Amino acid sequence: MSAPQNLWTEVDEYMAGLLVGPDEVLDAALRDNAAAGLPPIDVSPVQGKFLHLLVRVAGARRVLEIGTLGGYSTIWLARGLPEGGRVVTLEYSPAHAAVARANLARAGLSDVVEVREGAALDLLPGLVDEEPFDLVFVDADKESNTEYLDWAVRLARPGATVVVDNVVRQGRIVDARDPEPRVRETRRFFDALAADGRVDATALQTVGAKGHDGFLLAVVR
């Protein structure tokens, strides 16, 4: 690791120790994710707490998550809900979904979270006739973020919060010639966002245990 990355990680660990603290349920979820061979791409503990607080600040009762992985971020989101709240989370991989369901069961959230399996772009149209969402968290394949944003807005109520993770790509988004597909598609995402009058949005760079990246925060008009 470079010296800056070491420092970023140490700062994350310092803040997590003070503001998040130990949590056996969440720690066990990460251990089980690793044991099952899931990629270590979960949000960090301080980012998970940030999502949890966003749910509370928004007063969200219905949350949509696009990209479950092993359910670590899902647990953070679900814990922020009031009694009677619900999370619908979409996961492409049946193996990942099985791990997530086990993690959610251990967290006592099986009745709060519904894991739906399949490609998100196939599942999202099926949500049109359901109650709108108060918060949407997008953390799935980056190549589809433009489409996910469109669906997030369509499925959310006016005033809802939308969060999209990993939109900075270590700063590579400033290079229009970068050939990496996730970088190219993230630039397409920002172009679409800039032209989308349905949302008011900003994006912030972040550094930490997950490296140099960032997230989009938007409010549906």
Contact 112, 85 (CB under 8 A): yes
Tens-place pLDDT, residues 12-28: 999 999 999 999 999 99
150: its two tokens: 């469109």
**Whole-number Å distance between alpha carbons of 216 and 137:** 10
pLDDT confidence bin for 2, thresholds 50/70/90:
low
How does the average pLDDT of the chain come out, rounded? 97
| pLDDT at position 38 | 98
Q: Is the pLDDT of residue 1 over 70?
A: no
Give the residue from 171, 182, 175 showing the smallest Cα distance to 145: 182
Q: Is the pLDDT of residue 114 over 70?
A: yes
**Whole-number Å distance between alpha carbons of 47 and 33:** 18
Percent of the chain with pLDDT over 90: 99
Task: Tell me the domains of the chain and their CATH numbers.
Answer: 3-220 (3.40.50.150)
Q: Is the pLDDT of residue 3 over 90?
A: no
Q: What is the largest CA-CA distance in the chain?
A: 50
Average pLDDT in the 176-181 region?
A: 97
Average pLDDT in the 181-195 region?
A: 97
CA 21 to chain CA centroid, Å, is 21
Average pLDDT in the 189-208 region?
A: 97
Tens-place pLDDT, residues 19-58: 999 999 999 999 999 999 999 999 999 999 999 999 999 9
Q: Is the pLDDT of residue 214 over 90?
A: yes
Does the predicted model carry a pTM greater than 0.95? yes
